[in-house]
Structure 1
Amino acid sequence: MELPEIMQQQVFAVAGDTLNPEKYAYKIKQGLLEHGYTVHAVGKELASFNDIPGDIDIIDLCINPVKGLALIRECTKPFKCIVIQPGAESEELLSYLNEKNLPYIEGCVLVGLSVYAKDKNS
Structure 2
Amino acid sequence: MKTLVIGASENTARYANRAAQSLLQHGHAIELIGLKAGQIQGYPIQTGLPTLNDVDTVTMYVGARNQAGYVDYLKDLKPRRVIFNPGAENPELAQQLKKEGIEPIEACTLVMLSIGNY
Which TM-score tier does this pair reach, normalised by the shorter chain?
0.7 to 0.9
8 A Cα contact 2:6 2:60, kept in partner: yes
The answer to whether structure 1 residue 65 and structure 2 residue 56 are counterparts is no
Letter in 2 for 1:81: R
Q: Which residue of 1 aligns with 2:73?
A: 74
5+ long unaligned stretches in structure 1: 1-9
Looking at structure 1, the residues matched to 82 and 111 of structure 2 have their Cα atoms a distance apart, in angstroms, of 15
Looking at structure 1, the residues matched to 117 and 97 of structure 2 have their Cα atoms a distance apart, in angstroms, of 26
Looking at structure 2, the residues matched to 26 and 78 of structure 1 have their Cα atoms a distance apart, in angstroms, of 23
Looking at structure 2, the residues matched to 12 and 24 of structure 1 have their Cα atoms a distance apart, in angstroms, of 15
Name whichever structure is richer in strand by fraction: 2
5+ long unaligned stretches in structure 2: 36-44
Q: 2:5 aligns to what SS in structure 1?
A: strand
1:12-58 Cα shifts (integer Å, max 9, x gaps): 0010133211111000001101111101011232222x432x31000
Q: 1:12 aligns to what SS in structure 2?
A: strand
1:43-87 Cα shifts (integer Å, max 9, x gaps): 232222x432x3100010111212234213233122111111011
Question: Runs ≥4 in structure 1, deviation > 4 angstroms?
Answer: 98-101
Name whichever structure is richer in helix by fraction: 1
Q: Choose between structure 1 and 2 for higher RCO, CA contacts under 8 A separated by at least 6 residues.
A: 1
The number of residues matched between the two structures is 107
Q: Which residue of 1 aligns with 2:40?
A: none
Q: Which residue of 2 aligns with 1:113?
A: 113
RMSD: 2.1
Q: 2:87 aligns to what SS in structure 1?
A: coil
Q: Which residue of 1 aligns with 2:86?
A: 86
TM-score, with length taken from structure 1: 0.74
Letter in 2 for 1:72: V
Q: 1:51 aligns to what SS in structure 2?
A: coil
Looking at structure 2, the residues matched to 115 and 26 of structure 1 have their Cα atoms a distance apart, in angstroms, of 19
The answer to whether structure 1 residue 16 and structure 2 residue 7 are counterparts is yes
Q: 1:57 aligns to what SS in structure 2?
A: strand
